[in-house]
Structure 1
Amino acid sequence: MLYYAEKPSAPRTRGAQMYKKLKRTALSTAILAALPMIVEAGEVTIKRDTWGVPHVYAETTHDLFYGYGYSVAQDRLYQMEIAKRSTQGRMAEVLGAGYVEYDKKIRTNYDPTSIQRQIDALNTDDRAILDGYAAGMNAWIEQTLDKRNSLLPKQFHDNDFLPEAWTAFDVAMIFVGSMGNRFGDYNTEIQNQQLLDALIKEHGETDGWAIFNQLNPLNDPSAPTTIPKGDWEGTFDARHVELVSRPPVSAKTERDIARLAVGQDGGVLNLSLADAHRYNAKQFHDYGLTGVAGYPQTSNMIVVGKKKAEGANSILLNGPQFGWYNPAYTYSIGLHGAGFDLVGNTPFAYPGILFGNNNDIAWGSTWGAGDVVDIYRETLNPDNPNEYLFEGQYRPMERRTETIKIKGAASVQIDIHKTSHGLLVSRDNEQNLAYAKKRAWQGREVETLMAWTRQGQADNHKDWLQQASRSAFNINFYYADQQGNIGYAFTGKYPERKPNHDNRLPASGEGGQEWLGIKPFARNPQVYNPSSGYIANWNNKPADDFIAPDMFWYSWSEADRVDTMKAIMDAQEKFTAEDVKQMMEDVSYADVNARYFVPFLDAATQGLQTDDPRRQAVMLLKAWEQSSHDRDRDGHYDEAATTLFQAWLPEMLTLTFKDDIPGQYFNWYASAGYPSPESPLRSSVNIQPGTKALLQALRGDDAGVKQTYDFFNGRSSNELLLNSLEAALQKVKQTHGDDPAHWKLPVVPMQFFTNNFLGMPQAGKDELKQTHIAMNRGTENNLVIFNGKQVETHEVVAPGQSGFIAPDGTPSPHYDDQLKLYENFEYKPTWLTAKQVDANTQSVTHLKTEQ
C-alpha cells in the first residue's frame, strides 16, 4: 500500500532515503508532501470497550488514523457515505432525480480546487492523517464488498447502491462541508436588506432605520459576555459609529426584493415576496435546518477552575447542540500513539476530536457567531452578464462546469461562477446585479481541521492557544488542565472592514468597501483564569466592545439564555462535579424567556384586585420555578404556568410588532420559539429575535439599545401587557378550562431524526428514536474532572456508538444503548490509560496497514 512518509528524521525504507535526497533539492514543500513512499507494513490494534468505543493503538500517524477510519467504517459506514455525498453535492447519483436541486445548491457553495490545493500543501505528517483515515475506511469497505450478505449495512441494500472508496479529499470535505459550510457560513445580509427596504417603504427612512436598528442592533452593551467585564482589555472593533442613515442600495419593488435572495444556478426566479419566503422556508425544511427560518441555535459550555471547584482542580462540561439524529451526530474514539493519547468524541468522526481530553488538558467548543462572511453586490456588465464591475473595469467571472450524475436519468451540467469576492449566491440579470459571498476563512479550511486535530496533542495552555490561533472558523474554544487553570478563546479569522461598511447589509462590489485585512488573533477575545472562577457560554457575546453578528435571527442582547447558567453559578461559592452536572440538567428544563418578563407582568398587575384573574395568573407565574417537567410521566407538563406563559408571550409579540413590521417579515419576530408535539425540537431552544426586541422595548430608556422608535405606538407598556395577558387567559381557558390544575400542555418528546443536518437520509425511516421528554441540552454531553494527578471522564452520546444494522435487520448491540442514559441524564465512563482500557476491553482487532 502506498502512503506518505511520517517523519523524514526516522527513515525506514528506500522511499524515506529518496525523501532525504530530494530534500536537498529545490523542490517545494508542497511537492515533497505529495510524494508517495513505499514503507514497511505497520501494525494497528483496536480495543473496543464495553460501550463499543474503539481505542486505536499505533506507532505512526498514518497507522493511527488508519485504525480510526477502519473503526468508523465498521460503525457508521452508511452515515459516513451519506455525509460524504451530502457535503459534496453527490446525492442524486445514488438516490435519484429528487436530489438534483439539492446537489446544485451544495456545489455552488464550495470550491473543490481550493480544498485540494490545501490538502496538497500539507506537510507529510498532517497529510498522513487524511490518507491513513481514508485507507482505513477503504480496508473495511473491501471486506464489506466481499461479504455483502453479512457486513454491508442494511441501508445500502434498501437503497440499492454500494459504498465507494474514500480519498483524503473526502475526509477533509466531511469537516469542511459540515463545519465550515454550516457554522462558519451563516449570513442574512440579503434578507436584512429586504427587511430594511420594506421598513423604509412602510415607515419612511428615519423610522425605517430606527426599527431596523432596534430589531437587529449593531451592539448591545447590556448583553452578558463570556469573558467577565474588565477581564479583557483588547479592542476587537475599531469603529464605534452608529449606522442609522445611510441610504439603502436596493431594488425598488417587492418582486425585485424577492429575487435577491432566491436566484439559483445563474437564473432569475420570478417570485412574489410572499412566495420568496415560502420558498426559503421550504428549502430550510427540506434540508433539515432548524431554528427560526431554518437556522440552528447551538451549544453550551461550563468550565470551572480551581478558584470555584470543590473536590477537583478543574471541571469541564460541554453540551454541543447540533440537533438530534440517529445515528448519533458525534462519534467516540480513543487515539493512542504517534504523539496522541486522548479520548473524546467529535462530529461525523472528524480526524480532529472537538470534545475530549488527554491526561493533561481538556478542551471543547461552542459556536461563536462572529461575522466571518460578507455578501458583495456585484454590478454586472449589461452586454455580458458574466462580467462584473470592479475598480472601474468590467472583469470576467471565473467559471467551472460541474456534472451531476443522476441515478436512472441522464446527467445534467451546471455552471458555477465566482468573482474576486467569492462564489455567486444569487443573480438578477434584469437589474444587472449579482451577489457574491466572501469568507474570511476561505483557503484556511484544512489548516483549521489540522489545528483542531493537533490541539489534542497539547499539554499546556500555551500550546493549546497556539492551535486555537490557527482556527479560521467562528468557534469558541475552551480549556481546562490538571493544575486547575481554565481558558477561553474566541477563534476565527475576522475581517477588518472599512468604517463605511455596515456588516449587516450587502457591500458594494465595485471596490470601495474592500476589507483592509484580517485582524490578528491577539485582538480576538480571550481569557486565562477569569476573575469569576468559571467560564459559561451558550453562544452569547464573547466580550465587551464586540459588534453583533449580521443575522436577523441571532443577536447578542440583554435577554440571553446564558443567564440561566450564570444565575446558578453566581449563587453558589463552590461547585463539585455533581453540582455542575445538576446545573446542566436544571438549565435543560428551564424556560429561557420567563425570567425577563414575569417582573413586568407583576408590575403591570400590581394595582389590580387580588381576585382579578389577571393578578391571579401573575401570582401563578411568580410561584413558578420557571422550568417544565413531567415527573409523573403522564404525558403532560406538570406546571400550569408553563401553559400560561407559552400562551402569553406570542400574544405580546403580536400586539407589539404586528402593526410595525410589514408583511411576511413579521413572522421572523412573531415566534416565541417553543416546540410542540406537532413541531418537535430539532435543535436547542433559544430566545428568539422578537423576544429580545420586546425586552428592549419594555426597558425603554433603560434599554441597552437606544429606543428611538415606539413599538407601543403611544400606548403604555402596561396596557399591552394586560391586554396580552387577558388574551392568553382566554385561550388557555378555552382549551383547558377554568381550573389551573388542568392547564397542562402535552409533553414534547426528544426525537432523534433519521436525516442528517442537511436533511439527507442517513438511516431508514423506521429508525427514528425518541425519549419521553425534550431537553434543552447537548447533542452529546462530556464531563472531564482533573484532580491534579489523574483525569476522570464521562460522556453520553445517544442513541449509541454504532449505527450498523445487518442486512437481515439485526442492529449492533451498541446501536441505541445510550438512549436511556441520555433520557435519565446519566453518563457512561470513558477510559484513557492503557490499564483502564484493558480492564474494560470486550474485543481486540489487530490490523496490518499493508495487505
Structure 2
Amino acid sequence: MGFLFRWLLRLVSVAITLTVLGVLVVYYLGSRSLPDYDKTLTVAGLSADVEIVRDNSDVPHIMAKTDPDAYFGLGYVHAQDRLWQMTLLRRTAQGRLSEMFGTRTVETDKLLRRLDLYPLAVQSVAAQDEQTRAALEAYSAGVNARIAEINRDSLGRGAPEFFLFEAPLSPWQPADSIAIVKLMALQLSGQLRDEVLRARTSLLLPDANRVADILPDMPGQGIAALPDYAALFPALPRYAAAQTPGNDMLMPVAPRGLAGASNAWAAAPSRSASGGTLLANDPHLNFTAPSIWYLARLQLGTGGVIGGTIPGVPAIMLGRSEKLGWGITSSYLDDQDLYIEELNPDDPELYRTPDGWKPFRTRKSIIAIKDAAPITVTLRWTDNGPVLPGSDFDLNTVTPPGHVASLAWTALSSQDTSMSAAIGLMQAPSVQDAITVSEGFVAPSQNLTLIDKKTIAMQLVGAMPRRDARHQSLGRLPSPGWRAENRWQGMLPFSENPQFIAPEGGIVGNTNNKIIDRPFPLHVSFDWGDSQRIMRWQGLMQGRQVHTRDSFIEAQLDTVSITARTLLPLIGADLWFTGEAAPEGTPERQRQRALELLADWNGEMNEHMPEPLIYAAWVRALQERLIRDELGPLAEEFDHVEPLFIERVFRNVDGAAVWCDILRSAPVETCTQIAQMALDDALVWISENYGSNLDSLRWGEAHQATHDHTVLGDMPLLRYFVNIRQSTSGGDNTLQRGMTSGQDPAPFQNVHGATYRGVYDFADPDSSVFVTSTGQSGHFLSRHYDDLGQLWRRGEYIPMSLDIDLARAAAVGVTHLVHE
C-alpha cells in the first residue's frame, strides 16, 4: 500500500510540475509579444526622428517634424498594440479568413468576395489626393517597420493569437487601410436587412396597417403608400420559412437593430457657461475585447490632433484638434437597395434590363481553406450591383423562382475618397472648412457634429443615391431591377445633404433620430435608429439655459428610460391597485409586488435596482404575446421591443388593438388581459433565472456588458482571461445606451453601446476628456488590456490634452524612432 501511495504521489507531483512548466512556457511565449514602450529603434522610411510619448493611460503622443513621419509613427504604435486586430480586419475585408480558421469562416469569405470590397479598395488608392496617398504610404511603412522588428527580434510573432492560428504576415499596403473603412461601412449598414424584413412581413400581413404597426414609421409627416410586395412579385408564396442561420464566424454584418447607433450634441458659446463651444460624442458599436477604438495623438503641421483611431487606418476618426472638434453618429441614410433580377429562362447567364437581356459580369475566385480543399466561387455582377445568393440575409424568402437578388450600395465605389476626407478633416481650421472637406466622404454615411471656437454645426456626410420619384417601392422593398424607374441615377450633389449650421437655439444634436422630413426621393431615410432617446435628450438640453462640460457628461451617462415612463402607464393602467390582497407566495401576490415596485419607479435603468429587470422582462413577454400568433416563426426576427408598436396597440391607433386578440381562441382578449398574462410570464421567467425575491433583483446581473474576444472568447479556459464582463446600467432606449442581445438564454446582456466617449470644451481645451470601453492594448497579458474599461464602467474619463509636458510627466514609456 505504501509503495502504491509513493508512486501516486510521484505521478501527481510530475503532473503538477509539467502543468506549471507548461503554463510558464505559454506565459513566456505570450509575454514575448508584449511591446517595450521605452526604447530607441533605428528604422527605414523616416525623414527625421520621431518621439512617441505614452501617457499613464498608454495613449501615444506622436511627435514628428513632418506629417508623413507622424503617420509612420501611428502605423508603428497600431502594430505594437493591435496587430492581431489589424490582421483580422484586413483578412475579413479580403475574404481570406478561412486560410486561418478553416470551414468556420467560409460563408463570411464568400460574402466579402461577392461584395468585392478589397479590389474596390485597391482601385480607390488612385482616387486619393496627394497628401492622403503619402499618409497611406507612410502609415504602411510604420506598420511594416514593426513587423520587421518582430521577425528580427523574435518578439512572440507580434501577438499571442498568432501561436494558435498560423497567419503569415504580408506587408501592409495602402489599400488595406481603405478596405478597413469599407468594412466599417458594411458593419454600419442595415437597410438591406430592413428591406428583406419589410418584404417578408408584407407577404405575411396583407393589411398595410398591421405592417405599419410592427414596422412603424418615425413620427412626422406621412409616407406615401407602398405596394403590396406580393403585387410586385405574384409568384412568391405569402410566407416562406427562413433558412436556419449557420455559425458564420467573424461575419461583419450586424444583426438587425445593431448596425450602428450613437449620440452627439454641441452647444454654441451663447449656451455655454464658460463662453466656449462644447461637444459630446459617444459612438455605439458592438462590444469586443479589445474595442475597435485606439486613442492617439498626432502632431501634424497644422497642429496637434487627439482622439479615436481605428487600427489599420491612418486618421483620427473622431476627437479634436487645436481649432476643431468633431463627433460622428450613424445617419441611417438609405444607401442600400435590393433588386430582384429576372433570369432569362432560356439562358440563366443573362438577366433582364430596361434594354433587354444582358450577360452578367463574372469572375472566378478561389478561397483557400485550412485543413480542407479550396473552393471556387463564381462572382456575378449586374448593372445594379453584386448578385447575392438566396442563403444570405434570408433572400430566398423574398426572391421568386427564376430570379436572383443584387445589391446597390454606395460603398461599392472604386473612386471612394472617404480616406482623403478623413485626413483633410484633421487639418481643417474651422467648421466651414471641415464641411467643405467632408464632401469627399462616400461611405459609411454619418452625421458629422462639428465645433470650432465660435460655431457649431451638424452635416450629413456620405454619398446619397439619386432615385427616381416613380420608384415602385421608394427603396423600402426589394424592387424589379429591370425597371428603369427603380434604378439609381447616380448620386445627389453634396448640397442636398442636410446640414444645420449655427442654429438659432444654440444647440444641435443627434441620437440617430429622424433629422429631416423631406419628401421622397430627397428623404434621407424612412427607417431611423431612434424615436425615444431623442425625447430625453431634448428635455436635458432645454432644462438648462447654459451648459458645461459636466452637464454634457451627465447627459452622456443618463440612464432614465423615457420609453419605460411612457409604456408603463399604458400597459399597466388597468392593473395597478386593483383586485384583492393576495397571500404571500402566490402568483397574484408576486404580480402585485411587481406592480408596486414599478408604480414607484422613475424609469432609471440603474444596475443596482430590480425595477429595470421587471420592466424589461414584462415588455419583452408582452411583445412576444402580441405578435407570436400573427407572425409565427417570423416573430423570431423581432427580438427587440419596438416601443412605437406597443404604444400603437395600447392606444388602438388605426385599429392596432386587434393584436391583443389571440387568433386561435374563441373569446376576444383585451389588451389588459394580455398585459397581465405577459407580466405573469415575465415573473415566471425571472423566478427561474434570478430567483423569486423581487426586491433583491439587480438589473446589472442580467445587463452585463460582454466585451468578448472575437476569436478566443468561446475557447475553454482562455475565455476567462480574454473576455471582459461588467455589470452596467442603461438599456435599449437610454442615452447611456446599453443595447440588449434579445437572444435567449441571456436576452438582456449588454452587447452594443458606447465604445468611445468624448467631451470637448473649447473654452478650456485641455479640460476635455475621453475614454474607451476596454483599453489600449490588444494583448490580454497587458495591464492596458482592460484598464480604461474600469473607468468606462464607472462613468469616468481621462484628460484629452495636447500638452506634451503633461504626457511626459507620467509617461509609461518613451519610444524614439531614429531615421537611418
TM interval, short-chain normalised: 0.7 to 0.9
SS in 2 for 1:530: coil
Q: Residues 210 and 244 of structure 1 are in contact (CA less than 8 Å); yes or no, is this contact kept in structure 2?
A: no
Match of 1:544 in 2: 517
Match of 2:219 in 1: 220
Q: What is the aligned counterpart of 1:665 among 634, 646, 661?
A: 634
CA shift at 1:740, angstroms? 4.6
Any stretches of 5+ residues in structure 2 without a counterpart? 1-43, 391-395, 583-588, 662-667, 731-737, 739-752
CA shift at 1:128, angstroms? 0.8
In structure 2, relative to structure 1, the CA distance for the partners of 1:62 and 1:452 (3 Å cut) is same
Q: What is the aligned counterpart of 1:692 among 622, 635, 644?
A: 644
Hey, what's the Cα distance between the residues in 1 that align with 2:814 and 2:229? 66
Q: What is the aligned counterpart of 1:819 among 767, 776, 789?
A: 789
SS in 2 for 1:494: coil
Match of 1:60 in 2: 66
Match of 1:684 in 2: none
Q: What is the aligned counterpart of 1:142 among 126, 148, 154?
A: 148
Q: What is the aligned counterpart of 1:109 among 106, 112, 115?
A: 115
Hey, what's the Cα distance between the residues in 1 that align with 2:255 and 2:312? 24
* 1:711 aligned onto 2:662: no
* 1:785 aligned onto 2:785: no
- Superposition pairs for residues 448-487 of structure 1, below 5 Å? 448-473=418-443, 474-483=445-454, 485-487=455-457
- Superposition pairs for residues 511-590 of structure 1, below 5 Å? 511-512=483-484, 513-545=486-518, 555=528, 559-587=531-559, 590=560
Match of 1:287 in 2: 251
In structure 2, relative to structure 1, the CA distance for the partners of 1:363 and 1:444 (3 Å cut) is farther
Q: What is the aligned counterpart of 2:321 among 358, 366, 379?
A: 358
Match of 2:747 in 1: none
SS in 1 for 2:115: coil
Paired-residue identity, %: 22
* 1:628 aligned onto 2:592: no
Deviations 1:442-480 (A, max 9, x none): 326731122122111112111011123322232111012
Deviations 1:195-228 (A, max 9, x none): 212223xxxxxx2x33223333455318xxxxxx
Hey, what's the Cα distance between the residues in 1 that align with 2:302 and 2:271? 32
Deviations 1:633-673 (A, max 9, x none): xxxx423x223312321232133323332x2112223x3x4
In structure 2, relative to structure 1, the CA distance for the partners of 1:337 and 1:432 (3 Å cut) is same
CA shift at 1:609, angstroms? 5.8
Q: What is the aligned counterpart of 1:800 among 771, 775, 779?
A: 775
Give the AA of the match of 1:711: W
SS in 2 for 1:68: helix
Match of 2:573 in 1: 603
SS in 1 for 2:404: strand
In structure 2, relative to structure 1, the CA distance for the partners of 1:734 and 1:165 (3 Å cut) is closer
Any stretches of 5+ residues in structure 1 without a counterpart? 1-37, 201-206, 223-238, 259-272, 631-636, 674-687, 806-810
Give the AA of the match of 2:605: S
Hey, what's the Cα distance between the residues in 2 that align with 1:154 and 1:737? 40
Match of 2:226 in 1: 243
What root-mean-square deviation, in Å, do the aligned CA atoms of Structure 1 and Structure 2 show? 3.4
* 1:198 aligned onto 2:204: yes
CA shift at 1:564, angstroms? 2.9
Q: Residues 121 and 176 of structure 2 are in contact (CA less than 8 Å); yes or no, is this contact kept in structure 1?
A: no
Give the AA of the match of 1:221: G
Hey, what's the Cα distance between the residues in 2 that align with 1:246 and 1:328? 40
Give the AA of the match of 1:174: I
* 1:92 aligned onto 2:98: yes
SS in 2 for 1:299: strand
Q: Residues 185 and 372 of structure 1 are in contact (CA less than 8 Å); yes or no, is this contact kept in structure 2?
A: no
Q: Residues 456 and 501 of structure 2 are in contact (CA less than 8 Å); yes or no, is this contact kept in structure 1?
A: yes
Kindly tell me the number of residue pairs found equivalent between the two proteins.
Answer: 727
Hey, what's the Cα distance between the residues in 2 that align with 1:157 and 1:730? 46
* 1:183 aligned onto 2:191: no
Q: What is the aligned counterpart of 2:297 among 317, 334, 341?
A: 334
Q: What is the aligned counterpart of 2:126 among 92, 102, 120?
A: 120
* 1:73 aligned onto 2:79: yes
Hey, what's the Cα distance between the residues in 2 that align with 1:123 and 1:218? 41
Match of 1:323 in 2: 286
Q: What is the aligned counterpart of 2:708 among 753, 756, 759?
A: 753
In structure 2, relative to structure 1, the CA distance for the partners of 1:64 and 1:700 (3 Å cut) is same
CA shift at 1:162, angstroms? 3.4
Q: Residues 214 and 645 of structure 2 are in contact (CA less than 8 Å); yes or no, is this contact kept in structure 1?
A: yes
Give the AA of the match of 1:479: L
Hey, what's the Cα distance between the residues in 2 that align with 1:290 and 1:756? 17
Match of 1:230 in 2: none
Give the AA of the match of 2:774: P
CA shift at 1:134, angstroms? 0.8
TM-score, normalised via structure 1 length? 0.78
Deviations 1:813-844 (A, max 9, x none): 42322132122211111321444444454433
Q: Residues 295 and 306 of structure 2 are in contact (CA less than 8 Å); yes or no, is this contact kept in structure 1?
A: yes
CA shift at 1:764, angstroms? 7.3
Give the AA of the match of 1:793: S
CA shift at 1:781, angstroms? 1.0
In structure 2, relative to structure 1, the CA distance for the partners of 1:138 and 1:727 (3 Å cut) is closer
TM-score, normalised via structure 2 length? 0.81
Deviations 1:776-815 (A, max 9, x none): 241121121111x64432111232112236xxxxx33423
* 1:435 aligned onto 2:390: no
SS in 2 for 1:129: helix
Deviations 1:739-782 (A, max 9, x none): 65345563432221100799999x97731122233652411211
* 1:741 aligned onto 2:695: yes
Hey, what's the Cα distance between the residues in 1 that align with 2:457 and 2:127? 31
Hey, what's the Cα distance between the residues in 2 that align with 1:727 and 1:52? 48
Match of 1:300 in 2: 263
SS in 2 for 1:497: coil
Give the AA of the match of 1:528: I
Deviations 1:389-448 (A, max 9, x none): 112421111112212223344432211110111111125799221111011343267311
Q: Residues 536 and 566 of structure 1 are in contact (CA less than 8 Å); yes or no, is this contact kept in structure 2?
A: no
SS in 2 for 1:360: coil
Deviations 1:298-327 (A, max 9, x none): 222232332332235222221111122212
Q: Residues 323 and 757 of structure 1 are in contact (CA less than 8 Å); yes or no, is this contact kept in structure 2?
A: no
Deviations 1:246-299 (A, max 9, x none): 753336455x975xxxxxxxxxxxxxx15x1x226x54x76376555x734522
Hey, what's the Cα distance between the residues in 1 that align with 2:759 and 2:70? 25
In structure 2, relative to structure 1, the CA distance for the partners of 1:532 and 1:657 (3 Å cut) is farther
Hey, what's the Cα distance between the residues in 1 that align with 2:186 and 2:426? 23
SS in 2 for 1:660: helix
CA shift at 1:148, angstroms? 1.7
Hey, what's the Cα distance between the residues in 2 that align with 1:812 and 1:743? 34
Hey, what's the Cα distance between the residues in 2 that align with 1:753 and 1:734? 26
Match of 1:504 in 2: 476
